[in-house]
Chain A
Amino acid sequence: GQNIDQPTEMTATEGAIVQINCTYQTSGFNGLFWYQQHAGEAPTFLSYNVLDGLEEKGRFSSFLSRSKGYSYLLLKELQMKDSASYLCAVSRAGNNRKLIWGLGTSLAVNP
């Protein structure tokens, strides 16, 4: 079956670094997305990985290992505004419109 696992909640301190992990089991793989969702708002696209390795985009980086079915989102120099839910979603081969979504990780950044 299809399954995506990520921690439910995480807490970190302003200015620190936090890593949010995501593991997946899907039939076929065509890329992994990370989205950020603030309370009461729309999910917004953060990153997309389809090949193994690290993709860096400012304070945010995303890593993928296809052989391990594993990804992480790395947030550096945390700011209070980074408090949000972070959603991991996988695109399957043969159906790039239907994403398999994780439950999301609720990150609280404390001063």
Chain B
Amino acid sequence: ETGVTQTPRHLVMGMTNKKSLKCEQHLGHNAMYWYKQSAKKPLELMFVYSLEERVENNSVPSRFSPECPNSSHLFLHLHTLQPEDSALYLCASSQANSGGANEQYFGPGTRLTVT
């Protein structure tokens, strides 16, 4: 079974639509992440949840709204997006601890196109 799953894999939406991206991890991890990946840019961290509490919010516009109902599920609610929001949205999870770094496991991503 794939460790981190994301749905949908592809999404086309108009600027006035509301949609949600879903992520689920089956690895027993305690931290989950949303990233944005655009061409010719490094991965951009959007949000981090640790033990279901949001611990990072990197100046993301309010038209992106995350939700983490439990340690296995993460959502990204989208509304009134702009064309420049078109990108690959990646979800990741890790077993965050107080010591050293920990590798993140990624889902396959949602390819979002805003028209």
Contacts and interface: CB of A to CB of B under 8 A. Distances in A.
B50 A4 contact: no
What is the size category of the interface that chain B forms with chain A? 20 to 34
B56 A43 contact: no
Interface string A71-102: 00000000000000001010100001111111
Contacts of B109: 41-42
Contacts of A43: 43, 90, 106
A50 B101 contact: yes
Nearest to A4: B42
Nearest to A33: B103
B100 A42 contact: no
Contacts of A101: 42-43
Contacts of B99: 96
A97 B48 contact: yes
B66 interface: no
A97 to B, nearest CB: 5
